[in-house]
């Protein structure tokens, strides 16, 4: 069997399966949390399925797909079983322990900053302010834990949870850890060159993850690691807006650019050397 794609909506995935069944092609759905992987039994039909999938994704609610479900008799007879569950298991399912652990640490540090003051926490975790702090090696990384507003924190940890969760789930904790450490150090060095040591936030790492997931998905279209091109365009527009101070807020533009470049380079290396690729099971 060969995996064709991953869809975020199991009901739409079933509609596509039903439609392809009317075309004489058998697909199987494998649930992965709240997403659905589509697997093809006959690899000779891959090109045909991918062409049909492109059309389906343009208009998944077209009546032809609902009609196919009615025709196949799979309109809902035991196909989906949604049981009440708390939000915590859902979070755990979408992200691994490192992803969730980093999220929790960022939240704890933010609370601490509001209790004892930004300056105090920066004195503990901020980027090295001079040669005397260079040997305090944690500072080269811990600046990513600092967030100076609730909006700043929420924006970063939401993107981190989504992107880091994907990387940890499908590439493993070691690649995610390496990407996090490298992008934290490099984005910090670059940002400090332009603004000095008073900065913080996870956004440099987030941009590294954006670059990595996007490029990895472009080179491996069948991989669960992918980012819609519209989202990467949004990220680039955000960079553009930051450089021209459109929003009137302090944005670590240099860290964003450095992180994005690191993510792209690491994805280029992994895809060039076939690391973590493969579509068969």
The residues annotated as belonging to the active site are 203, 256
Q: Which residue matches tokens 């640490």?
A: 105
Closest CA to 213 of 160, 158, 254, 257: 160
Please tell me the total number of residues recorded for the chain in this structure.
281
Instruction: Please give the Cα distance from 5 to 222 (Å, whole number).
Output: 6
> Which residues, in sequence order, are bridge partners of residue 27?
40
Contact 211, 259 (CB under 8 A): yes
Contact 222, 4 (CB under 8 A): yes
Closest CA to 214 of 239, 196, 235, 193: 235
């Amino acid at each position: 069997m060969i995996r064709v794609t991953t869809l975020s909506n199991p009901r739409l995935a079933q509609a596509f399966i039903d439609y392809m069944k009317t075309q004489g092609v058998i697909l199987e759905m494998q649930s992965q949390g709240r997403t659905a992987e589509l697997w093809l039994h006959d690899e000779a039909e891959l090109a045909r399925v991918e062409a049909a999938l492109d059309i389906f994704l343009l208009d998944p609610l077209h009546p032809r797909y609902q009609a196919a479900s009615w025709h196949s008799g799979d309109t809902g007879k035991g196909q989906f079983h949604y049981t009440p569950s708390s939000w915590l298991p859902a979070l755990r399912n979408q992200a691994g322990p490192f992803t969730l652990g980093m999220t929790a640490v960022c939240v704890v540090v933010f609370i601490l900053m509001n209790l004892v003051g930004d300056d105090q926490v920066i004195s503990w975790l901020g980027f090295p302010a001079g040669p005397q702090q260079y040997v305090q090696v944690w500072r080269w990384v811990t600046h990513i834990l600092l967030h100076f507003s609730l909006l700043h924190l929420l924006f970063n940890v939401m993107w981190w949870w989504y992107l880091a969760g994907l990387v940890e789930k499908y590439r493993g904790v070691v690649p995610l850890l390496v990407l996090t450490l490298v992008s934290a150090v490099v984005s910090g060095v670059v940002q400090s060159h332009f603004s000095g040591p008073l900065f913080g936030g996870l956004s440099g790492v987030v941009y590294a993850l954006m670059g990595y997931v996007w490029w990895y998905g472009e080179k491996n279209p069948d991989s669960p690691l992918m980012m819609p091109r519209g989202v990467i365009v949004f990220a680039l527009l955000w960079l553009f807006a930051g450089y021209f101070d459109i929003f009137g807020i302090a944005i670590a533009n240099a860290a964003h650019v450095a992180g994005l470049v690191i993510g792209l380079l690491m994805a280029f290396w992994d895809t060039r050397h076939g690391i973590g690729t493969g579509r068969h099971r």
